[in-house]
Amino acid sequence: MLHKTKSQWNYSYRPVFLAGLILSISILSIGCSKLVEVEPPITSITGASVYESDATAIAVLTGTYTGISGVGIYGSVGSLSLLPSLSADELSLYGTNQQYIYYYQNGLTSTNVNQGDLWYSFYSILFTANSAIEGIGNSNGMSTAVKNQLTGEAKFMRAFCYFYLVNLYGDVPLVTGTDFSVNRLLSRTPKATIWQQIESDLTDAQNLLDENYLDGTLSNSTSERVRPTKWAATSLLSRAYLYQQKWDSAQIEATKVINNSLLYSLDSLNGVFLKNSSEAIWQLQPVNAGANTADATLFILPSSGPDGYSFPVSLDTLLVNSFEPGDQRRQNWVDSVIANGITYYYPYKYKAGYMQPVNNVYPPPTEYTMVFRLGEQYIIRAEAEAEKNDLTDAAIDLNAIRGRAGLAATTAATQADLLNAIYHERQVELFTEWGHRWLDLKRTGNVTAVMSVVTPLKGGTWSDYKQLYPIYLYEIQHDPNLVQNSGY
């Protein structure tokens, strides 16, 4: 299992912006003082010419997805299933692993945030997305269909990054171009403007992205659900509207996905996280030989239990005890080991870790990392309907998820009770997936009520300002217009 020292982590954030490894394009990584302050990368193919053919342009966006999947859950964008789960009430940390303890104890500062972790990773992807949008727009050598698809993918990824940046950090610099002289002095943009950009990019992406899943050439349909489609953009847009309390719009967008029954249906509990499951809207394909998902290799505990290094986390008993009696997710998505007389629970949504080669050949992976799935869309629509006081339809959507888990229909009869039931359903359905619980606590106004109790149990202290992560001090020092989050 790959683990990194702090100094090695710093190099991980020096991004390869034009990742053309698939096509053997020689791209050099660059050291940069700020990821919103990057200068144009030096490559064997110039930034302009890389967008003069379909194949080389496709490799740029493909490199973004393989980059996220390849590094996985250790400090990149993929760590959204780990770090916010540590910050919330989902995971327990074994030992005093310095990589994670500050997230776990809600003790982040501007100097212990591991050189920015998520901040650096998101702005790396944003530079690639902005470069692609500019390069594709100026290209004369690409086909129209590929230009549309890749522009849609780049805008989708830009919205994806800003969705998490605005929710984790609040006001953040809005970078939509690659001009170094402009980016190096950007101040923080109000959240309302960031949300407008997210909506604009996703609306554009809906119109540009194909409705079908495309292969690596973007010429043929495929069963592999590993490139963003119109439905991935629609799924993120429904979530963005929900977070902004735009209930009508959230309901409309979620309904578009749910009604696409030719592509999507709720899968069995043990089928949800398999590659190309009927519930998958967008997945990340494993790219490391012998590996399935990084989530499995980190979360699945050996018989010896957690060790504070290769296996540093387990499920918090607060989460384990939150499942209702008879909830089959407790049986199918949670497992445990007994080590030294102590029972440790762990997420078991992904069940396959590293694989052994057969005749020196690794078998194909059986699981892909799930980024967007249909189950969330049902819960989004249920919440939007409940907020509109459409309690009957909200209960129907909620019961679709409960029924899949083997539970009886909800007994909630009032709007307040139904919303609380929906919040609880999100907790037990989406645990350790892409930071849902941490963001839910914040957007529903429950973070302080929960964390003021939970954080002391983890050895930390809670203050309301900690619901936003700090910006790494180096970023503040090198941009005179960048202001730290209050409290840090």
What is the pLDDT averaged over residues 435-446? 98
Which of 312, 347, 382 marks a domain boundary? 347
Among 324, 347, 370, the domain boundary falls at 347
The secondary structure element, H or E, covering residue 347 is: strand 342-347
pLDDT at 362: 84
Total of domains in the chain: 2
| 28 and 170 share one domain | yes
Is residue 308 domain-resident?
yes
- Measure CA of the first residue to CA of the last residue in the chain; give whole Å: 34
Q: Is residue 6's pLDDT more than 80?
A: no
Rounded CA-CA distance 149/217 in Å is 11
Does residue 195 lie within any of the structural domains?
yes
pLDDT of residue 256: 98
Residue 46 lies in a domain: yes
Q: What pairing do the DSSP bridges indicate for beta strands 369-373 and 334-339?
A: unpaired
Co-location of 180 and 311 in the same domain? no
User: Residue 23: its pLDDT value, please?
Assistant: 31
| Beta carbons within 10 angstroms of residue 262's beta carbon | 6
Domain membership flag for residue 169: yes
- Rounded Cα gap, residues 413 and 169, in angstroms: 36
CA atoms within 13 A on the CB side of 65: 23
In this structure, how many other beta carbons lie within 10 angstroms of the beta carbon of residue 256?
16
pLDDT at 93: 97
Q: Which tops the pLDDT comparison, 44 or 104? A: 104
Place of tokens 């007389």: 341
d(CA 273, CA 271): 6
CA distances from 23 to 18, 19, 50 (A): 11, 9, 11
CA atoms within 13 A on the CB side of 482: 22
Cβ neighbours of 270 (radius 10 Å): 14
pLDDT at 75: 61
| Phi (first) and psi of residue 84, to 5 degrees | -65, -30
CA–CA distance, 407 with 477 (Å, rounded to integer): 53
Q: How far is CA 45 from CA 5, 42, 51, 129, in A?
A: 33, 8, 10, 17
* Residue 147 belongs to some domain of the structure: yes
Q: What is residue 95's DSSP assignment?
A: T
Convert the pLDDT of each residue in 60-82 to its tens digit.
999 999 989 877 676 688 899 99
43 pLDDT tier (thresholds 50, 70, 90): very low
Average pLDDT, stretch 281-287?
94
Q: At what angle do helices 415-429 and 436-443 cross, to 10 degrees?
A: 160
**CATH number of residue 117's parent domain:** 1.25.40.890
Q: How far is CA 345 from CA 168, 358, 406, in A?
A: 27, 31, 21
Residue 259: closest CA among 376, 372, 377, 371: 377
CB 196 within 8 A of CB 120: no
User: What pLDDT sits at residue 287?
Assistant: 86
252 within a domain of the structure (yes/no): no
Report yes or no on 386 lying in a domain: no
Nearest-angstrom CA–CA distance, 121 and 157? 12
**pLDDT at residue 12 tops 60:** no
- Lookup: tokens for 206: 């809906």
If phi > 0 it is left, if psi is from -120 to 50 it is alpha, else beta; for residue 400 that is alpha
Domain shared by 47 and 175, yes or no: yes
CB 229 within 8 A of CB 210: yes
How far is Cα 27 from Cα 20, in angstroms, rounded to an integer? 7
Mean pLDDT of 457-482: 95
Q: Which domain holds residue 92?
A: 19-209+462-488
| 162-185 residue pLDDT tens | 999 999 999 999 999 999 889 989
- At 387-417, the pLDDT tens digits run 999 999 999 999 999 999 999 999 999 999 9
**pLDDT tens-digit profile of 112-170?**
987 667 999 999 999 999 999 999 999 999 999 999 999 999 999 999 999 999 999 99
Residue at which a domain ends, from 293, 314, 347? 347
In a domain, 203, yes or no: yes
